[in-house]
Structures are given as structure tokens and as C-alpha cells.
A = this chain, B = another copy of it.
Amino acid sequence: MTRIAAGLESAFARRGFAVPSVEDLRDAAGVSLRTLYKYAPSRDRMVRIALEHRHRRYLDHVFSDLPMGHEAALDALFERIGLWMERETSHGCLFHAAVAANPDNNELKALLERHKSEVAERAAGATGLSGRKIELMQVIEGLTQSWPLYRERATTGARHLGAALRRAEVPGPFDARTSSPSLT
């Protein structure tokens, strides 16, 4: 079952949500058409199963064993996301892609929102930026979406933005040296 989900995920990640036919998906899942339809009774369900699988893998990859310190966690977060982009996808966020391909599918929208809000929650918690959750999430989205164009420079850029955000978070004329003084 998770093998099926993994196959579906990689097929959609590689070829998008519009192109692959159910027979393509069957090949990617490595099972027969009948078994595929048993676990995913429609193509829509195949999409959802793939996204749920990706959601779990993404959270694992990005958030497991982050450094404890807020500053280190922030840097590591962007590093991990950059690595994810490099390894797992050549374009932007798969959840946005799924919704964009099928804008009036409400189940997909719900999946997207659940994914994003969980990422936001955990990112804010790990970096101590709970008061700037929206801005943090925007940096993450910016990194994810701009990675195909800028590659590693996107990771560096996100780190700069993250550092600037941290500095803005705890303002004051004499900041106690805590964070990064100058932009990598």
C-alpha cells in the first residue's frame, strides 16, 4: 500500500497531475490495474493518496531532528528545504501544483491547507518565530517556488530573509549579539 502511494507520488512529481494516464500510474505503482483501483477507486483518489504520502515524507525530511537553538533551526530549515527541492522535485510545491491543475476540487484544497498549516506550525515552533508565522511561511514559499530558477542561491536568499526577520522580531538599538550580525 505505501509502495503504491510512493509510486503514485513519484509519478505525479515527475510528470505533473495532468499528463499521466491511469495506465501510466499503474506502471509507476507497480501493481495491476485491479489492485490499483482497489486501494484508489478513482484517479482523484490516486492524487490524494500521493499527496498524503508526500505530506508525511516532507514533514519527516524537513522537521525531524532539527537543531534545538532557534537560530540554528532556522538555518537548518532552509537547508533542508533546499535539499528537498534538489532531490525531490524540479519545480515548486506539489500541493500547489495539484490545486492549480484542478482548481475546483475542494478535497485537494483542503489537503493543501492542512499541509501548509502543519508546516507553518512546526516551522514557527522550531524557530521561535510564532509571532511572525505568516512571514516565515512566506519565506518558505518563496524559497520553494524560486528554487527552480535560482537553485542554491535560493537557499542563501532565504537565509538572508530569515536572519532579517529574526532581527526585526527582537528589535532595539543594542541587540545582545544573539543572531547573525551580517548576512552570510
Q: Is A57 an interface residue, CB under 8 A from the partner?
A: no
How far, in Å, is A93 (CB) from chain B's closest CB?
7
In the complex, A134 Cα to B96 Cα: how many Å?
21
In the complex, A151 Cα to B21 Cα: how many Å?
35
* A91 contacts B96, C-beta separation under 8 Å: yes
- Chain B residues with Cβ below 8 Å from A91 are 96, 99-100, 103
- Selected contact of A101 from candidates B17, B90, B146, B168, CB within 8 Å: B17
Question: Using an 8 Å CB-CB cutoff, how does the interface string of A93-124 with B read, 1 for contact, 0 for none?
Answer: 10011011111100000000100110000000
A129-176 contacts to B, CB under 8 A, are 132, 134-135, 137-146, 149-150, 153-154, 156-158, 160-161, 163-165, 167-168, 171
A1-35 contacts to B, CB under 8 A, are 14-19
* B171 contacts A165, C-beta separation under 8 Å: no
In the complex, A90 Cα to B103 Cα: how many Å?
9
In the complex, A26 Cα to B19 Cα: how many Å?
22
- Chain B residues with Cβ below 8 Å from A18 are 17-18, 101-102
* B134 contacts A143, C-beta separation under 8 Å: no
* A138 contacts B158, C-beta separation under 8 Å: yes
Given contacts A14-B103, A93-B145, A134-B156, 10 further A-B contacts (CB under 8 A): A16-B102, A17-B100, A18-B101, A90-B103, A135-B160, A135-B161, A137-B150, A138-B143, A145-B145, A160-B168
